[in-house]
Amino acid sequence: MIKITLKDGSAKEYNKGITIKQVAESISAGLARVALAGEVDGKVKDLSYELNEDCKLSLLTFDDDGGRHAYRHTASHIMAQAVKNLYPNVKLAIGPAIDNGYYYDFDVDKPFSVEELAQIEEEMKKIVKEDLKLERFTLPRDEAMKFMEEKGEPYKVELIRDLPEGEIISFYKQGEFVDLCAGPHVESTGKIKAFKLLSVAGAYWRGNEKNKMLQRIYGTAFAKKSDLDDYLFRLEEAKKRDHRKLGKELDLFDIYEEGPGFPFFMPKGMVLRNLLENYWREEHQARGYQEIKTPIILSEELWHRSGHWDHYKENMYFTKIDEGDYAIKPMNCPGGMLAYKRKLHSYRDLPQRMAELGLVHRHELSGALHGLMRVRCFTQDDAHIFMTPEQIKDEVLGVINLIDDFYSVFGFKYHVELSTRPEDSMGSAEQWDMATNALKEALEANKMKYKINEGDGAFYGPKIDFHLEDSIGRTWQCGTIQLDFQMPQKFDLNYVGADGEKHRPVMVHRVVFGSIERFIAILTEHFAGAFPVWLSPVQVKVLPLIDKHHQFAGEVKEALAAKGIRVEVDFRNEKIGYKIREAQLEKTPYMLVIGDKELENRAVAVRSRKDGDLGSMALNDFINRIVEEVESKAK
């Protein structure tokens, strides 16, 4: 007999060799129907997996990450089978599940058309209807290579060849279709209820631009058609909100072919950007941060010292100055180290909170560039906090509260992930354990729910990542808190303790916006360009009906501008309906119409972007209204 501990903490005894599916059936027929996979001691397995030892078991449905992953991974195999059925000469590459869906890469003679995607989708429906069982089998490495060679799948052969000698290779079979795969998968193709192929794009084999360009088909799958429909609706909504489109239409920002990945900000975009940066400065000054500015170009030796050379040089730009080798900074950290090291510090000086809006440059492949979301130069709202070990918990809590305050101003919900030590890391296991536990303690002291993201920490320390959720349910990783024992050591940073001896400070790297450019893109899409009044580049448009109303319109503008309101007057000889429609397209929060009645009463007819026609209002009453909205940062 073996003891199986379930997710709710209860334990049951079963005979050895029982499958995960049989455990689900022993609990309830309903659970067995919706179970897609099982998590055994932290590892996701097929429902057919046999249990032969005491273990912890969680039964996974589509609501669980592991269940969703197995479901969508199976959908990718169904898509690959459909493609092979329709185009037998296509070569298969890889087809994983990803956030919100899946993809598969194919080596084909010509790109897939929209019409061909529709045909592939119809073929997938046939495969689902056949309800083919997914069966796992294994082969020794050499036999596995021979098996894939016989099937004419060179990309699979390459993947197997790169695995260690003696490795046992797993495959999954559904009907006549077989694919190299580690799994897990759902029981049969009939389990996949609702799916859609979304798009096709080029993708280099293994992400290397020196390799062949393959065709990547993206798709998504859900357990319910209604959920798929909701997702497709959100995708359409996202297209309308695309910040690249809105950035041009609202004359905020753009990227030109003369500078791929290097954004231009127009006057209205600079208003938005400066408002965000000013808010950032005010909040940081109030919390005891000191602002610094470090150079964009620093010597190559510095990047060797910091460790970035070994871990990040592929993403860096380089130059020569006076025969010396220099690098354009991809991060602000080393400059922050030099700023701290400029003088001797006492323990009484700590914590030292140094903040910087630092312009950094990173080499990104052209195919990865995406508006302001993925660029080659951007401004990080960095801060480096130097502290004693005893101050770690309080300082991390302070940053958590700062980030929470920032995001609540913009109306963002968020979730938190704690990322642990990656394979490519610096420092001892003891240091990493200490740093990771310190971050856990801070999160738990703040009663924050968090998810562990194994192996995704920075190369110098663990981190807490904040993932924003926007108005249509998408998530974006923005804020981060990284605890670092390595950089102070590499730069020989010290402070004099109460004992009169030199000690090594601990350091926190953190950002709130993450990147000003990316945050502006997220805000633009979150609000669909209709920014809150306090952030709107133009807050009020004054719309006089005819020439005799122009003088009072100018007086209204002066009265608003005197209170710091950003205001424009439309003096053009156009019909009022045209002026209103144009102001609406520009997403202006308030339109003030001035006609004979308003001129006579020294009033304004107010139209709100949010609330519609508000009727006539005394000018001072309107000014008080909008000033209060701006000062409260109303959403």
How many whole angstroms separate alpha carbon 503 and alpha carbon 524?
A: 46
Distance (Å) of CA 294 to CA 165, 291, 329, 344: 49, 10, 10, 19
Q: Cα(first)–Cα(last) distance of the chain, in Å?
A: 60
Contact 22, 10 (CB under 8 A): no
Distance between CA atoms of 315 and 327, rounded to whole angstroms? Answer: 11
What tokens appear for 390 in the block?
């005893």
- The whole-angstrom distance between residue 47's C-alpha and the CA centroid of its chain comes to 32
Using an 8 Å Cβ cutoff, are 173 and 185 in contact? Answer: no
Q: Which two tokens stand for residue 275?
A: 């408002």
- Give the DSSP H/E element, type plus range, for residue 244: helix 243-249
Q: How far apart are CA 13 and CA 5, in angstroms?
A: 9
Cα 461 from Cα 450, distance rounded (Å): 18
Name the E strands within 388-430: 413-419
Helix-, strand-, coil-residue percentages of the chain, each rounded to 5: 40, 30, 30
CA distances from 289 to 153, 282, 512 (A): 58, 10, 13
Which residues, other chains included, contact 547 with Cβ-Cβ below 8 Å and sequence gap of 6+? 573
Residues with active-site annotation: 333, 362, 380, 382, 384, 463, 509
**Residue 563 DSSP code:** T
Name the nearest CA neighbour of 45 among 75, 76, 24, 16. 24
Please state, in angstroms and rounded to a whole number, the distance separating the CA atoms of residues 220 and 79. 11
Distance CA 563, CA 382 (A): 32
Closest CA to 103 of 218, 252, 13: 218
Nearest one of 509, 302, 266 to 387, comparing CA atoms: 509
Contacts of 274 (CB under 8 A, 6+ apart): none
Residue 379: φ, ψ to 5°:
-105, 115
Angle, CA of 135, 138 and 144, to the nearest 5°: 120
